[in-house]
Amino acid sequence: MSFDPSSDYPLGRRRPDLVSTPSGLALDEVTLDALRDGRLAWDDLRATPETLRLQSEVARAAGRPALAENLGRAAELASLPDETVLSIYTALRPQRSTAEELSAWALKLEELAAPSCAAFLREASEAYARRGLLAQGEHATV
């Protein structure tokens, strides 16, 4: 059965067959009992890239393009290590990174199959440059 972003929302109620945990558990297997019994790991409580992509399609179908783009970027980031995501977040804080460092992060994100996030970092770098929010000198954020 195909996915219809206009009628299949909310996914958990209308299309639970499309939602699973990072380890592959079905949505109906995510229970407090499963957690207590050790059948569910804490990482299973995270959204998967696939679910975030579906949510992005739902947002786009609902006429919410900015939310759709954010969910698409979240899908790209969901498979990256937490340390990488936190490092990027830190690099994006005002006065934390030079234009070159943000460009290096963008290249790294492209290597990690996160092109939308890479484009976002490039856009942020340009906006920071216009507003004087880039760090001066050399740092080591990548």
Enumerate the domain spans of the chain. 1-79, 81-142
Amino acid in the structure at residue 2: S
The sign of the dihedral angle between the CA atoms of 46, 50, 53, 57 is: negative
pLDDT by position in tens, the chain (length 142): 699 999 999 999 999 999 999 999 999 999 999 999 999 998 899 999 999 999 999 999 999 999 999 999 999 999 999 999 999 999 999 999 999 999 999 999 999 999 999 999 999 999 999 999 999 976 655 6
**Quick one: CATH architecture of 81-142?**
Orthogonal Bundle (1.10)
Which token pair is 99?
A: 């234009």
**What's the confidence (pLDDT) of residue 137?**
77
